[in-house]
Amino acid sequence: MRKIENFIAGEYVAAGSGQRFDKRSPLDNRVIASISEAGRPEVDAAVKAARGALNGEWGGLSTEQRVELLYGVANEITRRFDDFVEAEMADTGQPSHVMKHVFIPRGAANFKVFADVVKNVPSESFQMATPDGRGALNYSMRVPKGVVGVICPWNAPFMLMTWKVGPALACGNTVIVKPSEESPQTAALLGEVMNAVGIPRGVYNVVHGFGPDSAGEFLTQHPGVNAITFTGETRTGAAIMKAASEGMRDVSFELGGKNAGIVFADADFDAAVDGIFRSAFLNSGQVCLGTERVYVERPIFERFVQALKVKAEGVKFGRPDDHNANYGPLISQEHRDKVLSYYRKAVEEGATVVTGGGVPQMPGELAEGAWVQPTIWTGLSDNAAVVREEIFGPCCHIRPFDSENEVVALANDNVYGLSTTIWTNDLARAHRMAARVEVGITWINSWFLRDLRTPFGGAKQSGIGREGGVHSLEFYTETRNVCVKL
């Protein structure tokens, strides 16, 4: 069994309290690792180390020197690719092809992309007249925000953690990462990469633990943390925002979603079925951008429901390294209980269960894992809990619609506004819809395509701020003005 420690000032250290917690495999509920739970002393030490690096060697590096180091980080991740794949599969139980082709490559790319962004970002300057006729020159400069607390989710842990660590370091900040207690391994492993590349000690720190009365709360309340970036559920984001209000510290949040998929009758039918299947069921439905509400134009509604049913019933459950399997478990028994409670609630509210709704029969020790069936419902009212509340599991409700105005109203009738995927061959309609649906990102005839130079974030209760490309600089740097009298 692995022992995973906190990473502070370039060293792996156990909490002084000796407090530890178990990490269980989603596959079979075995204990696979013992994690050191950071207390206030460890968080204090991490903040001290981060501040020291900021005021020391790291803070003295030029942009070009930081860029070179971050390219080194990306290259070292690629060199140790299999180690990261193994660690992520162990924590999440998801298939190897998802790790090898999406999550781990994106994790490495995040360092190179943001290194390139800061290397090429322009500044601005203005000349102005003065009463004495000599004039003055104003120019802007960007400086690091400082020590950044990074609170990470468990559903795509390495990719989403480096999405924040990459731009934070590129901009010259130092970071303290608090990974989810369900997925601690790749954040810890990245410490080895940082040391191997020569990132100064204290630039990258990791503290393990939970939220309330643990590492998460201690980090977000710490007055030495200048800014906090968080991906997770909206309720937790609200608690972090309250903590950040002490000291008026900046926050960047990517929060919950109850995303709508919209399929018009003129869409490429097979492509739309494949696209909605991916957006509803990829990563066992544990994707913040996933589709849990599907609206299909009435002429193709019945055909679409049956086609998606066939796709959902064709998944192959199994271990990540089973090449015949393409579907993994949920992250934990606790999360499975939550998802299954919604499966029961859907039936209680009168849903027609098109497929799924329960737990698959798994062989041997896998029967103890956090498995659930991909599930499709129809027939619920627009006010049903499973239509309105984020479930974060492999499920969706499908409802027919009759007009563009109707489906826009349906899509917008939710407190969340993270993403939507729209399927139509009418590009004029696609552009109209993109302007009207209240979300941070709209995909047309696609899903999960990401150009990392573009802004990413949610509307309404799905988040605060935008990250990606130069947009990340608005959070990870502070812009200052210098006025020079000539």
Tell me the domains of the chain and their CATH numbers.
2-255+462-485 (3.40.605.10), 259-444 (3.40.309.10)
Percent of the chain past pLDDT 70, that is, above it, reads 100
In 282-322, where does DSSP find H-type helix?
301-313
Grade residue 31 by pLDDT with cuts at 50, 70 and 90.
very high
Is 277:381 a contact under the CB 8 Å cutoff? no
Q: What is the rounded CA–CA span in Å between residue 218 and residue 47? A: 11
Is 118:477 a contact under the CB 8 Å cutoff? no
Q: How many helices (H) and strands (E) does the chain have?
A: 16, 23
400-425 average pLDDT score: 98
197-204 average pLDDT score: 98
Q: Helix, strand, coil proportions of the chain in percent (round to 5)?
A: 40, 25, 35
| Residue 227 tokens, joined | 């800014």
Q: What is the pLDDT of residue 486?
A: 96
Q: What is the pLDDT of residue 255?
A: 97
Which residue do the tokens 């590349």 mark?
Answer: 197
Is 283:393 a contact under the CB 8 Å cutoff? no
Q: What is the pLDDT of residue 423?
A: 98
Rg of the Cα atoms in the chain: 24
Q: What is the rounded CA–CA span in Å between residue 143 and residue 141? A: 7
For the stretch 58-111, pLDDT in tens is 999 999 999 999 999 999 999 999 999 999 999 999 999 999 999 999 999 999
Grouping H, G, I as helix, E, B as strand and the rest as coil, residue 18 is coil
- Is 254 tagged catalytic? yes
Q: What is the pLDDT of residue 1?
A: 86
User: Is a pLDDT exceeding 90 seen at residue 202?
Assistant: yes
Grouping H, G, I as helix, E, B as strand and the rest as coil, residue 416 is strand
Q: What are phi and psi of 200, to 5 degrees?
A: -55, 145
Q: What is the rounded CA–CA span in Å between residue 74 and residue 71? A: 5
How far is the CA of 417 from the CAs of 151, 363, 439, 442, in angstroms?
A: 21, 40, 4, 10
Is 93:26 a contact under the CB 8 Å cutoff? yes
User: Is a pLDDT exceeding 90 seen at residue 273?
Assistant: yes
| Residue 458 tokens, joined | 């949610």
For the stretch 148-195, pLDDT in tens is 999 999 999 999 999 999 999 999 999 999 999 999 999 999 999 999
**How high does pLDDT run on average in the chain?**
97
| Residue 345 tokens, joined | 């609630």
Helix (H) or strand (E) holding 26: none
How far is the CA of 10 from the CAs of 59, 200, 340, 423, in angstroms?
A: 16, 8, 42, 48
Q: What are phi and psi of 405, to 5 degrees?
A: -60, -40
Q: What is the rounded CA–CA span in Å between residue 318 and residue 302? A: 31
Which candidate in 5, 42, 182, 254 is catalytic? 254
